[in-house]
Amino acid sequence: MDKLPISVVVITKNEESRIEQCLKSVYGWVEEIIVVDDESTDKTVSLAQKYADKIFHRKMEVEGSHRNWAYAQASSQWVFSLDADEIVTEELKKEIQDVLPNTSMSLFSIPRRNYIGDYWVKYGGQYPSAQLRLFRKGCFRYEDVEVHPAVAWSEGQRGILSHDIIHKSYRDFSHFLSKLNNQTTLEATKWFKSNKEFFFGKTLWRALDRFPRAYLRKKGYKDGFIGFMFAFFASLYQIMSYAKYWEMKRKSQNA
């Protein structure tokens, strides 16, 4: 079968343990694989060279603008945004091959199976958790912010595919906490740079609301202790972000 007119774009940083699985899942059936590496110090780049058509070296400072730059390097009609800890299933591959040639859609959301270790987290809002990942070049962009950028598209309709990306989100709880620490720093930076006033009372309410929403209303309890921890960390995210924002603001005022 001819390769599909897709540029797969993968952003990496020290992903030697996962990058091959990711790239193997799209190798051979897409026109182009692009890796944009953020100053990796391990074997990420050398491993990626086995599969990638283009490798760029660029430091990520603002996630939204970094991803937009990466997508602009694509030369194919379609862009497939894939993270280094994600794998395209055979079922999704076949669905894309069947749907793409005759579609009138401009964008597609794709569900993800989020894992911690070898456990698939099915509840608490973790699944299907579909995200916009496949789009015609030029009709999609992220907000230029550090973390959790909003998405916008300029034209066309969005479809939803039915098969999954496997997302190896966290190796274990230590890895979860490490990523939580990094993401809350970026979140606090985003809040601080926005020049908006964030109040502890509202943040506390959001933190207290997150746990019952994920654990009870979205049935996180069905994932047992793992579901409890995911709901707890969702709540903790708000408090950690506010604490770092408060600290940044205080240092700025005292400077």
Q: Render pLDDT for 158-187 as a digit per residue (tens, 0 to 9).
A: 999 999 999 999 999 999 999 999 999 999
Residues 2-24: b if buried by 16+ CB within 10 A, e if exposed: eebbbbbbbbbebbbebbbebbe
Q: Verify cis geometry, omega within 30 degrees of 0, for the bond prior to 5.
A: no
Predicted confidence at residue 115, as pLDDT, reads 98
DSSP category for residue 217: I
Which residues of the chain register pLDDT less than 50?
none
Kindly give the pairing relationship between strand 131-136 and strand 78-83. Answer: antiparallel
Predicted confidence at residue 144, as pLDDT, reads 83
**Measured distance CA(94)–CA(216) in Å, rounded:** 36
Predicted confidence at residue 1, as pLDDT, reads 63
Predicted confidence at residue 85, as pLDDT, reads 96
**Measured distance CA(14)–CA(35) in Å, rounded:** 12
As given in the structure block, the two tokens for residue 54 are 């283009």
List the beta bridge partners of residue 112. Answer: 165
Predicted confidence at residue 150, as pLDDT, reads 81
